[in-house]
Amino acid sequence: MNRRAAAVAIVLTGLVFSPLPAYAAPTDLTTPAPPAAPSADTQTILVTLDHAGSDPEASAQAAVATASQAVGDGQVTDVRRVTATTVAVTLSGGVSASEADQVAAEVDDQRNVKAASTATRFYPAATDWEASLWNINAAIGKYGVAADQAWGVSTGAGVIVGVLDSGIVSHPDLDANRIAGYDIVGADADPTDDGVGTEWHGSHVAGTIAAVKDNSGVVGVAPGAKIEPIRVLGANGGSEADVIAAIHWAIGDVGGTASNGTPLPVNPNPVQVLNLSLGGESPVCDAPLQDAINSAVSKGIPVVVAAGNTSRPLFDFSPANCANVIRVVASTYEGGPATAYSNYGTYDAPATISAPGGSGYSTQCSGSALNQCGGVLSTVTDAAASGAGYDFMFGTSMAAPHVSGVLALLRSIHPEWTVAQLTAAIRGSAIPVKGCSAVLCGTGIVNAARAVSINNFLTRTKAPSISGKFKVGKTLKAKPGRWWPKVKVSYRWLRNGAPISKATKSKYKLTKKDKSRWVTVQITVTGPAGFASQVEVPNSHKVKR
């Protein structure tokens, strides 16, 4: 029996599907009620100083200690330099989340402090169970990424993808494509995924990106790329400070520390793509985290982030709500949005792209060796199979690495492209998500075969717009703008971000259903072969009576 068959048989023993609660497609994108405040606990304040002084830890500690005295009884129990100017100061002694926010606000107003905020706790953005390689191979899944059809052009050779996650295991499908990495949590050079509390999350993500192609086991989207595992998640999630330090370390910045304050060594292998299949509930993207992301993008490194799995707007979750990230929502085997769990975009924070994350429930498909397409099959560990374990998971954590894999394919053949061009290529080659819009689901499901065929980009000389009064009974007209070279144009009118049935012309007459709703139009422009298509969504307007 070959290794794949033996390992899969072990994984499937005792497997039970549990459908997630029913979820209606969003039509009113209202802000959900705020979550309940967490119980009093240890809290960490991220303090970013105006300048890197001789002792930033002392400066940050003094600022927090002064502020905490005015708010409550919290005591500083740990001080850690995250970057040259950002310090994580931990308060203990029954400090509530609201009290920590007050402390951060007090510190933020102090002299020589650029910014201060309460650190967010990050967790894996995944939910477990189901599927086979419908997500990779075009012959099996019509709505996968068709990576097999791209390998004749690129396999991702020469590209390093940084995976900020729970680490990685030794595995026959991973070992040849992994490089050293680092454990920010354990403060050492051994980023082993122990599976405790994360169910081999990082290993599963890594396999989707770059499992080797060797006619056994599974294969990743970019089997020629390398994985650099950077462990930031443990049994109880991971700290925002660790994620910030990890981003800087991954891209080659110096001056950061591990979770215990140990200075991080220089990364000898800076990454070309970053995958963050993680997130924490927070209405804002903290300044130090945004700075780390901006630093990556300034170096030409795209930052791919999972949208989260609560069937809510993604702007409630960091780092999905950060600027300059590629926001990935999940799609199903049937080509629709994974509304059973996937977060979605809004006008304030639109999704960038969709990718296979699984249905979240048992579903059958033809052509697959396992005949199950409820989720994504990838690498984990199994002691009885000498480490060659495989398991099914579904979630936006599983969707994001598909996008990172396609970006690796592109970066390999276009090392000169900017992050904006890489993003335009994946957005402009996507397969539309059934019944969803570019706001909610991005431009569609990322498609590797189409993406590697892109070699040019449209030039916009005049922005698209909408004319007319936003009032019930009035007719609006979409104007596509001006483009070079010549383009074909299609339209899709949106109400609160969701497509309006049969509204696919350049003109749209507002009805009573639109009253007090936000209306706009999605304009898709398609150029000649080899040019990335482009999707534009002009500003929405609230319809009056």
Which active-site residues does the annotation give?
Answer: 165, 201, 397
Q: Provide the angle, in degrees to the nearest 10, between the axes of the packed helices 56-71 and 97-108.
A: 120
Residue 489 corresponds to which tokens in the numbers above?
A: 């144009």
Residue 151 corresponds to which tokens in the numbers above?
A: 């390998």
Geometric angle at alpha carbon 280, from 407 and 257, rounded to 5°: 75
* Helix (H) and strand (E) counts in the chain: 10, 30
Neighbouring residues of 9: CB distance < 8 A, sequence distance ≥ 6 = none
538 bridge partner residues: none
Neighbouring residues of 36: CB distance < 8 A, sequence distance ≥ 6 = none
State how far the alpha carbon of 535 is from the alpha carbons of 191, 297, 330, 491, in Å: 40, 22, 19, 10
Cα first-last separation, the chain:
69
Q: What dihedral do alpha carbons 414, 418, 419, 420 form, nearest 10°?
A: -110
Residue 15 DSSP symbol: -
Residue 21 corresponds to which tokens in the numbers above?
A: 């609660």
Of 339, 340, 308, which Cα lies nearest the Cα of 321? 308
Gap between the Cα atoms of 139 and 183, Å rounded: 38
Gap between the Cα atoms of 55 and 87, Å rounded: 10
Neighbouring residues of 29: CB distance < 8 A, sequence distance ≥ 6 = 313, 346, 347, 496, 497, 518
Gap between the Cα atoms of 533 and 2, Å rounded: 43
Of 209, 204, 261, 202, which Cα lies nearest the Cα of 233? 202
Residue 5 corresponds to which tokens in the numbers above?
A: 């068959």
Contact 353, 143 (CB under 8 A): no
State how far the alpha carbon of 443 is from the alpha carbons of 117, 326, 360, 511, in Å: 33, 12, 22, 26
Beta strands in 398-464 (DSSP E): 456-457, 459-462
Tokens 């769990």 correspond to what residue?
341
Q: Positive or negative, the Cα torsion across 49, 55, 57, 63?
A: negative
Neighbouring residues of 253: CB distance < 8 A, sequence distance ≥ 6 = 83, 295
